[in-house]
A and B are shown apart, each in its own frame.
Chain A
Amino acid sequence: MIKRILILLVLAMLAVMFLKLASNYHENSTLSTLGQYYAERGPAELGAANLVTAVVVTYRGLDTLGEVTVLFISAAGVGLLLRRTRRTDDDEDLDKGDRAEETAGTHKPASEIVETATQLLLPMVILFGIYVFLNGHLSPGGGFQGGAIIASGTMFLLLALPESHISRTLIAMTESLSGFSYVIIGVLGVILAGGFLDNRIMGLGTYGHLFSAGAIPLIYVFVGLKVGFELSAVLDRFRKEDSGPL
Chain B
Amino acid sequence: MSFLADIHISQIVLCSGLGLVLIGLWGVLTQRHIIRMIVGFSLLDTGIHMVMVSIGYVTGGTAPIINDAVPVAEAASRIVDPVPSALVLTAIVIGLGVTAVMLSFAVRIYRTRGTLMIDECTESKG
Query: Would A96 and B112 count as touching, CB distance under 8 A?
Result: yes
A52 & B89 in contact (Cβ 8 Å cutoff): yes
Taking a contact as CB atoms under 8 Å apart, the answer to whether A27 and B59 are in contact is yes
A63 with B90: CB separation less than 8 A: yes
B107, A238: Cβ atoms closer than 8 Å: yes
Beta-carbon contacts of A38-65 to B below 8 Å, as 1s and 0s? 1110111000011110111000100110
Q: What 1/0 mask marks residues of chain B from 72 to 83 whose CB sits below 8 Å from any chain A CB?
A: 100111010111
Residues of A within 8 A of B8 (CB): 27
Contact pick for B86, options A28, A44, A56, A138, CB 8 Å? A56
A11, A42, A54, A56: the one within 8 Å of B90 (CB) = A56
Q: Which listed residue, A39, A52, A73, touches B85 by the CB 8 Å rule?
A: A52
Q: Does A111 make an interface contact (CB < 8 A)?
A: no
- Chain B interface mostly: helix
Bound form: Cα–Cα A120–B101 in Å? 32
Question: Is B14 an interface residue when CB atoms closer than 8 A count as contact?
Answer: yes
Is the Cβ of A50 less than 8 Å from the Cβ of B107? Answer: no
Asked if A171 is at the interface of the complex by the 8 Å CB criterion, the answer is: no
Interfacial chain B residues near A138, Cβ < 8 Å:
65, 67
Stretch of A13-21, A184-192, A193-201 on the interface side: A13-21
Question: Looking at chain B, what size class is its interface with the partner chain?
Answer: 35 or more
Pick from A4, A50, A97: contact of B65, CB below 8 A: A50
Residues B82 and A74 in contact, CB atoms below 8 Å apart: no
Which residues from A are CB-within-8-Å of B92?
A: 144
Evaluate whether A10 and B29 lie within 8 angstroms (CB atoms) in the complex, with A27-B59, A35-B83 already known: yes
For the complex formed, measure the closest distance between the CB of B105 and the CB atoms of chain A, giving whole angstroms: 6
Q: What range describes how many residues of A lie at the interface?
A: 35 or more
> Are B104 and A238 neighbours in the complex by a CB distance under 8 Å?
yes
Most central of A74, A93, A208, A234 by chain B CB within 10 Å:
A74
| B14 cross-chain contacts in A, Cβ below 8 A | 22, 25
Residues in B neighbouring A52, C-beta threshold 8 A? 64, 82, 85-86, 89
- In the complex, what's the smallest C-beta–C-beta distance from B43 to chain A, in angstroms? 13
Give the complex CA separation of A52 and B67 in angstroms. Answer: 14
| CB atoms of B108 and A81 under 8 A apart | yes
Q: A21-B18, A51-B79, A238-B103 are in contact. Are A29 and B58 (CB under 8 A)?
A: yes
Q: A74-B101, A208-B67 are in contact. Are A7 and B79 (CB under 8 A)?
A: no
Q: A43-B66, A96-B111, A208-B67 are in contact. Are A14 and B75 (CB under 8 A)?
A: no
When distances are taken between beta carbons in the complex, the residues of chain A under 8 Å from B67 are 49, 138, 208
Check B65–A139 contact: CB distance below 8 A.
yes
8 contacts between A and B (CB under 8 A): A22-B18, A40-B72, A42-B66, A51-B64, A70-B94, A77-B101, A208-B67, A246-B116
